[in-house]
């Protein structure tokens, strides 16, 4: 660890040691607060004494209190050495140097705001984008025994999702029984045939792959949680409008959680498949008893994943300028209903089932 400069030592003594006590050994100490890890200079032997390090650290929250309690315990050489080592680590990591007690908070705020490297961690962004770009829908999977911990890792990601009012109105049922998978898959195949009979014109895929998906998770939503969002609950017209929005909040919440699960599965290397063709009432009625799902909950979608039977392909995505405006909506991005209908007629089947390179 680089030694403190003479100027720093002198400055510290002037402020904190009445009359100056030149004999104390100095070190840079690790200082953790909500802005990150910092270093603080001071005499190690003084650590943890009331009115010294502890009181200086107190305002900065739990992490600092933890640190302060370690400082209080820093009476044995081993603990002191550990703290010195941590200070060295912080130094090596190139963390910020703080000023001294009085200016510490301002320094921390000021430096955090100026530390552009902290908010420009492009290596982390690149790692995330590799997963985001690499998440691709695949509708047929190779046989594979998904380890139990992979299901847990995937749903651990789902658990951390944001949700309106932090209501977390979701539940996930992992299906491992091949007979139940087969039955769920059959419901989708029925739906596929039903749609064909209805002549919807929607390019419904082959749902046979659900039956053999190595990973199958049924996503449930508890719509009663709309009550947790801003609603009046008085049956008025205004309440109806608020409920409409509350339902959107709930759906966004479950989608955020489900997306986290999909990204986690993609991060593990699996191909994924998000299926909502399960929303219709009759499918709900068939599936819920198979899984013991209470009547009050809704089966909102199904997540399948596993090693792809054939390589996944990247589908066409709108370019950034088409989905992004600065300050005001870019009128060039607006579409009429006629244009949307034309897109459905000429493009939808291509963007759904072709590689992005094969879109005219």
Enumerate the β-bridge partners of residue 30: 39
Q: How far, CA to CA in Å, does 96 sit from each of 41, 123, 140, 201?
A: 12, 20, 51, 61
Task: Note whether 137 binds ligand FMN by CB under 6 A.
Answer: yes
Nearer to ligand FMN, 9 or 204 (CB): 204
H or E segment and range at residue 1? none
Of the candidate residues 275, 287, 297, 300, the single one contacting ligand FMN (CB under 6 A): 275
d(CA 56, CA 50): 10
Query: How many residues form the binding site for ligand FMN (CB under 6 A)?
Result: 10
H-run or E-run covering 76 = none
Q: Which of 121, 276, 322, 339 binds ligand FMN (CB under 6 A)?
A: 276
Pairwise CA distance, residues 202 & 342, whole Å: 14
The answer to the question of residue 221 lying near ligand FMN (CB under 6 A) is no
Structure tokens at 158: 């789902």
Euclidean distance between CA atoms 209 and 306, whole angstroms: 11
One residue of 242, 286, 352, 354 binding ligand FMN per CB under 6 A: 352
What part of residues 302-341 is at the interface with ligand FMN (CB under 6 A)?
Answer: 315
**Which span sits near ligand FMN by CB under 6 A: 15-23, 55-63, 74-82, 134-142?**
134-142
Stretch near ligand FMN under the rule CB under 6 A, chosen from 149-157, 161-169, 244-252, 274-282? 274-282
Can residue 266 be called a binding residue for ligand FMN (CB under 6 A)? no
Task: Give the up-direction half-sphere exposure of residue 293: CA atoms within 13 A in the CB hemisphere.
Answer: 25
274 binds ligand FMN (CB under 6 A): yes
> Which of 32/255 has CB closer to ligand FMN?
255
**Among residues 174 and 251, whose Cβ is nearest to ligand FMN?**
251
d(CA 129, CA 203): 29
Residue 283 or 297 having the CB closest to ligand FMN: 283
Q: What span, in angstroms and rounded, lies between the C-alpha atoms of 307 and 271? A: 6
Q: 3-class SS at 27?
A: strand
Residue 277 in the binding site for ligand FMN (CB under 6 A): yes
The reply on whether position 205 binds ligand FMN by CB under 6 A is yes
Interface residue list for ligand FMN (CB under 6 A)? 136-137, 139, 205, 274-277, 315, 352
């Amino acid at each position: 660890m680089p030694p403190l400069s003479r100027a720093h030592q002198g400055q510290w003594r002037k402020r904190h040691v009445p009359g100056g006590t030149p004999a104390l050994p100095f070190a840079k100490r690790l200082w953790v607060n909500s802005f990150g890890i910092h270093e603080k200079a001071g005499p190690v032997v003084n650590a943890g004494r009331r009115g010294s390090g502890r009181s200086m650290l107190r305002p900065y929250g739990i992490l600092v209190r933890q640190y302060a309690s370690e400082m209080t315990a820093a009476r044995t050489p081993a603990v002191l050495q550990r703290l010195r080592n941590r200070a060295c680590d912080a130094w090596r990591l190139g963390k910020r140097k703080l000023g001294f007690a009085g200016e510490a908070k301002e320094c921390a705020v000021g430096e955090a705001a100026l530390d552009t490297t902290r908010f420009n961690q492009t290596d982390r962004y690149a790692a995330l984008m590799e997963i985001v770009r690499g998440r691709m829908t695949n509708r047929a999977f190779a046989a594979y025994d998904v380890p139990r911990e992979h299901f847990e890792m995937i749903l651990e990601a789902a658990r951390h999702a944001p949700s309106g009012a932090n209501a977390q109105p979701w539940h996930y049922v992992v299906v491992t029984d091949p007979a139940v998978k087969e039955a769920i898959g059959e419901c989708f195949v029925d739906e596929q045939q039903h749609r064909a009979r209805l002549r919807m014109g929607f390019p419904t895929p082959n749902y046979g792959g659900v039956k053999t998906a190595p990973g199958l998770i049924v996503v449930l939503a508890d719509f009663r949680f709309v009550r947790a969002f801003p609603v009046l609950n008085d049956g008025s017209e205004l309440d109806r409008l608020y409920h409409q929005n509350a339902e959107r909040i709930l759906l966004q919440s479950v989608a955020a959680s489900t997306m986290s699960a999909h990204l986690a599965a993609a991060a593990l290397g699996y191909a994924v498949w998000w299926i909502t063709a399960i929303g219709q009432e009759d499918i709900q009625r068939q599936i819920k008893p198979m899984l013991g799902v209470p009547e009050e909950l809704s089966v909102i979608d199904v997540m399948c994943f596993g090693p792809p039977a054939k390589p996944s392909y990247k589908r066409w995505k709108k370019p950034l300028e088409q989905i992004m405006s600065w300050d005001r909506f870019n009128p060039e991005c607006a579409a009429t209903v006629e244009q949307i209908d034309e897109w459905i007629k000429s493009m939808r089947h291509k963007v759904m089932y072709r590689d992005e390179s094969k879109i005219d």
